[in-house]
Amino acid sequence: MSPLATVGILSIGEMGMGIAKLLVAHNYRVVTNLEGRSQDSHDRAKNASVEVLPSDLSLVTASDYILSIVPPRDAMSTAVRISTAFNAQSSPKPTPLYFLDLNAISPHSARSIAELISSESPNIKFLDGGIIGGAPKTTSSTPPTWSKPSVPISGSIAQVPATYTHLAETLNIKHISDDVGVASGLKCCFATTTKGFTALCIQAFTTASNLGVLPNLLEEMENRTPGMVKKARGGVTGMPPKAYRWVKEMEEISETHAKDGGFESVGAGLFGEIAQVYKSVADDSVLGEEKTERRKRGLTIEDVAAAMGEGNAAKRKKSD
């Protein structure tokens, strides 16, 4: 059976890989460009039936849709790459190329990327989006079904191709506005409540650990707010590998609340400070590395709090 459409994905990280597997399972051809990436990335792509193309030009030429799923700091540069490759084609594509920016960026950043695409490559159709929830995966039910994140989209879909409806259903895409930036704003507001909460817990648990009262704090939380402590455990222990991505995301959230929410900030502002919390995690010699023994056996709240306390003490000693 012929593929329904060809979808290019940049890049094939945890979320990109989950979306790639979901699309392949629903008869889409999935392609990517892994220039400069490790052999491990190539092996993961091959095992997921993702076709690795040699360049951005070949990616643009082959794709009907391109999904940008990169760290927020790389959102603009990825759009520039796609625009440049699109303009380098020797002959125009017979059908439009749809570029879906699904990165955790502010509405202002989304509008800036849309303006770049519109001015440099007007034949690319731009859609602003975000991903709320974890990477797609199959459930243990029989037959297996897919657990999917929510993918809000904004921008005009007045003239989308016939394959868009099936793609939207497959990826759980929800069109919420014709205005670019609205979907990114929704993503930022959601992350405010989740990743903002996790950062507050990191500080609370680290300080409690330093004071020797972390067990007492967790006991009080278990007795009085059991749902909150369950959420805190998952957020704090699952956060370290992603902390480097979240630094820029917190800065994008700060810009969202300032420009679109009207909250004037002093200095870096609330989420500028939260960005520094995640930067501390990303820079930590224990938490920031991918393959430490603690990370291999699974982190606990106590591990994170102890590591952060040790790291903060070392930084304070060095500055003194």
Residue 120 sits at φ, ψ, to 5 deg, of -90, -35
Sort 254 into a burial class: Cβ within 10 Å, 0-12 / 13-18 / 19+: buried
Distance of CA 139 to the CA centre of its chain: 22
Query: Which of residues 154, 178, 202 is at a domain's end?
Result: 178
Residues 285, 193, single domain; the answer is: yes
pLDDT of residue 293: 47
How much of the chain, in percent, has pLDDT values that exceed 70? 96
Starting from the edge strand earliest in sequence, which strands make up the sheet with 97-101, in order?
A: 51-53, 29-33, 6-10, 65-68, 97-101, 124-129, 151-154, 173-177
Residues 132, 214, single domain; the answer is: no
Provide the CATH number for the domain around residue 96. 3.40.50.720
pLDDT of residue 171: 98
User: Which distant-in-sequence residues (6+ apart) come within 8 Å of 257 by Cβ?
Assistant: 188, 192, 263, 265, 269, 270, 271
Query: Which of residues 157, 178, 199 is at a domain's end?
Result: 178
Q: Identify the helix (H) or strand (E) that includes residue 30.
A: strand 29-33
Residue 90 tokens read as: 């020797």
- The β-bridge partners of 132 are 150
Residues 199, 275, single domain; the answer is: yes
Q: How far is CA 193 from CA 90, 186, 238, 258, in A?
A: 47, 11, 16, 16
Residues 149, 282, single domain; the answer is: no
User: Which distant-in-sequence residues (6+ apart) come within 8 Å of 26 by Cβ?
Assistant: 4, 166, 170
Separation CA 98–CA 106 (nearest Å): 20
Q: Which of 304, 120, 289, 107 minimizes the C-alpha distance to 187?
A: 107
Show the low-confidence residues of the chain (pLDDT under 70).
Answer: 266-267, 285-286, 288-297
Helix axes 182-211, 269-283, angle to 10 degrees: 60
Residues 159, 26, single domain; the answer is: yes
How many other C-beta atoms lie within 10 A of the C-beta of residue 140?
6
Q: What is the DSSP letter of 96?
A: P
Residue 309 tokens read as: 């306390």
Find out whether 253 and 107 touch, Cβ atoms under 8 Å.
no
Asked if residue 1 is part of any domain, the answer here is: no
pLDDT of residue 288: 60
* Containing structural domain, residue 232: 185-319
Asked if residue 309 is part of any domain, the answer here is: yes
**Structural domain count, the chain:** 2
Residue 4 tokens read as: 């329904």
Question: What is the reported pTM?
Answer: 0.91
Q: What is the pLDDT of the chain when averaged over all its residues?
A: 91
Residue 29 half-sphere exposure, CB side, CA atoms within 13 Å? 14
Residues 295, 272, single domain; the answer is: yes
pLDDT of residue 291: 42
pLDDT of residue 268: 72
Asked if residue 204 is part of any domain, the answer here is: yes
Residues 218, 161, single domain; the answer is: no
Residues 152, 202, single domain; the answer is: no
Separation CA 156–CA 180 (nearest Å): 8
Separation CA 300–CA 320 (nearest Å): 30
Residues 125, 159, single domain; the answer is: yes
User: Which distant-in-sequence residues (6+ apart) come within 8 Å of 301 by Cβ?
Assistant: 205, 214, 218, 232, 233, 236, 237
Residues 100, 150, single domain; the answer is: yes
Asked if residue 57 is part of any domain, the answer here is: yes
- The β-bridge partners of 7 are 30, 65
Residues 30, 154, single domain; the answer is: yes
Residue 90 sits at φ, ψ, to 5 deg, of -70, -25
pLDDT of residue 311: 87
Provide the CATH number for the domain around residue 216. 1.10.1040.10
Separation CA 221–CA 236 (nearest Å): 15
Query: Which of residues 178, 198, 225 is at a domain's end?
Result: 178
Asked if residue 232 is part of any domain, the answer here is: yes
